[in-house]
């Protein structure tokens, strides 16, 4: 994929922008607040049909106008595609592909892909499980046409179960068992599918992520593991690794007790996260590493095919086990909406708790690079890469390593606030633009 032309009208702080792009490496230079991120956002929207920020449609429209237009020519599949998107402040939008109106965004986004890394993506590593789940789910929405529909179905069922939990008191808990079983069955059916899709994706991401981490940290072993919600409980039933209030992805915004803690084993067995199988092991065979309990390869004594039937049985058992707790705090505490990832570096140390700022940033970048490779395989074409203020936080060695990794493999857009920290990097084949006073000029 190659963006040849970008035109913006009334988009964010830009009244009118026209850029003819000829290079595989594009650099936008400008002071903080000049609007560099807005440019990357427009490129992302052009290929993904949405903003990478948590913005409403009206936020993208210049406050002096009642509409905005994003227009671009993207070379994809050996042909040029003219994409035109008009967003109106009444919430409506018009989309044209090669001057023909199309009904929805999937008409052009299904064959296009862009990966962006911004400072906010550090939340994948440092913040709540919400962002790590979203990382997987966002990729699945790009690679699996059915995933968004599945996710929405699960959300509706989850909302219904939570509504029922709110209506249950200690006096009618027994009489509600039949109704809760109906919602449990539906939740297990949809939730097991979501978990399986995430696990299959993580199998693909993991190898690529480790490869890139080894490139930056040759002597330190990296890993990424899936943590089931029922394995994030302490033996006494308290939720671990943050608090329920901030641990939302598929929305489950219900009141909950606040408690900070580390991962811990939850019951008499653990369901393995990867390798397409499930492992049931007594807790005394589980080894503790950096505050977390994981199943090591030598402990995999009993292997079962990880399918929806097996996973569903475990999920159903956990829903029943924590039913009284769910009633007490009026929310569903187990399911894919509470799962997590843990990323380790070195001696199985959780990088979230023990990694340096630089290590955490590199880990987030490596996750994005793994996503980039995966999307390239999925669409049989190289996506565009957008790097928002990434190089400023890296030392010189790792700046060089990152640019070497990117090379000429992907058309890459980079923003920077200061040219000084780029002076030791070879950018002779780079197109440079100065962003100032809501205008963009060739540098």
What local confidence, expressed as pLDDT, does residue 419 receive?
A: 72
pLDDT higher at 225 or 393: 225
When mean pLDDT is compared across 167-171, 280-284, 381-385, 421-425, the lowest value belongs to 280-284
* pLDDT for residue 256 is more than 70: no
* pLDDT for residue 106 is more than 50: yes
Residue limits of CATH 1.20.1050.90 in the chain: 126-354
Cα–Cα dist 384/2, whole Å: 7
Could you report the per-residue pLDDT of 57-88, keeping only the tens digit for each? 899 999 999 999 999 999 988 899 999 999 99
Could you report the per-residue pLDDT of 315-374, keeping only the tens digit for each? 999 999 999 999 999 999 999 999 999 999 988 899 999 999 999 999 999 999 999 999
Q: Domain spanning 126-354: which CATH class is it, in words?
A: mainly alpha
Residue limits of CATH 3.40.50.300 in the chain: 2-113+382-442
When mean pLDDT is compared across 38-52, 68-82, 297-311, 404-418, the lowest value belongs to 297-311
Phi–psi pair at 306, nearest 5 degrees:
-80, 90
Distances (CA, A) of 141 to 146, 151, 228, 384, 398: 8, 9, 21, 17, 31
What local confidence, expressed as pLDDT, does residue 179 receive?
A: 86
What local confidence, expressed as pLDDT, does residue 296 receive?
A: 32
Cα–Cα dist 36/27, whole Å: 10
- What average pLDDT does the chain have? 81
**390-417 exposure pattern, b = at least 16 Cβ within 10 A, e = fewer:** bbebbeeebbebbbebbeeebbbbbbbb
**406, two tokens:** 């990117």
Which is nearest to 273 in space by CA: 320, 204, 203?
203
pLDDT band at 387 (very low <50, low <70, confident <90, very high): very high
* pLDDT for residue 111 is more than 90: no
Task: Specify the pTM.
Answer: 0.82
Phi–psi pair at 401, nearest 5 degrees:
-60, -45
Provide the 10 A C-beta neighbour count for residue 132: 24
Which CATH number applies to 2-113+382-442: 3.40.1260.10, 3.40.50.300, 2.40.40.20, 2.40.50.100?
3.40.50.300
What local confidence, expressed as pLDDT, does residue 231 receive?
A: 87
């Amino acid at each position: 994929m190659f963006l040849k032309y970008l035109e913006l009208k009334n988009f964010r702080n830009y009244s009118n922008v026209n850029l003819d792009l000829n290079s595989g490496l594009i650099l936008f230079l400008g002071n903080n607040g000049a609007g560099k991120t807005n440019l990357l956002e427009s490129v992302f929207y052009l290929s993904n049909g949405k903003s990478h920020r948590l913005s409403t449609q009206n936020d993208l429209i210049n406050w002096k106008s009642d509409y905005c237009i994003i227009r671009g020519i993207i070379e994809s599949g050996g042909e040029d595609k003219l994409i035109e998107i008009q967003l109106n402040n009444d919430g409506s939008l018009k989309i044209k592909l090669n001057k023909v109106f199309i009904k929805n965004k999937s008409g052009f986004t299904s064959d296009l892909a862009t990966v962006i890394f911004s400072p906010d993506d550090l939340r994948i590593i440092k913040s709540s499980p919400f962002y790590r789940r979203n990382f997987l789910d966002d990729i699945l929405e790009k690679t699996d046409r059915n995933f968004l529909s599945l996710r929405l179905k699960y959300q509706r069922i989850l909302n219904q179960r939570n509504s029922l939990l709110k209506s249950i008191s200690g006096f009618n808990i027994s009489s509600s068992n039949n109704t809760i079983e109906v919602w449990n069955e539906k939740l297990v059916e949809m939730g097991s599918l979501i978990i399986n899709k995430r696990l299959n994706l993580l199998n693909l991401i993991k190898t690529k992520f480790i490869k890139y981490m080894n490139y930056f940290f040759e002597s330190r072993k990296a890993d990424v593991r899936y943590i089931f919600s029922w394995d994030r409980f302490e033996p006494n039933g308290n939720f671990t690794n943050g608090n329920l209030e901030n641990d939302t992805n598929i929305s489950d915004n219900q009141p909950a007790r606040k408690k900070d803690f580390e991962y811990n084993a939850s019951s008499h067995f653990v369901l393995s996260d990867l390798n397409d199988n499930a492992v049931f092991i007594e807790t005394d065979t589980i080894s503790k590493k950096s505050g977390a309990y994981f199943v090591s390869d030598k402990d995999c004594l009993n292997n079962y095919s990880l399918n929806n039937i097996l996973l569903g049985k475990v999920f159903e058992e956990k829903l029943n086990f924590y039913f009284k707790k769910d009633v007490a705090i009026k929310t569903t505490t187990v399911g894919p909406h509470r799962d997590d990832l843990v990323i380790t570096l070195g001696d199985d140390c959780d990088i979230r708790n023990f990694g340096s700022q630089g290590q955490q940033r590199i880990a987030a970048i490596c996750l994005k690079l793994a996503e980039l490779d995966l999307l390239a395989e999925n669409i049989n074409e190289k996506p565009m890469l957008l790097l928002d203020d990434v190089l400023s936080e890296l030392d010189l060695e790792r700046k060089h390593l990152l640019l070497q990794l990117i090379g000429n493999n992907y058309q890459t857009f980079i923003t920077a606030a200061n040219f000084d920290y780029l002076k030791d990097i070879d950018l002779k084949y780079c197109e440079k633009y100065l962003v100032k006073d809501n205008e963009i000029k060739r540098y």
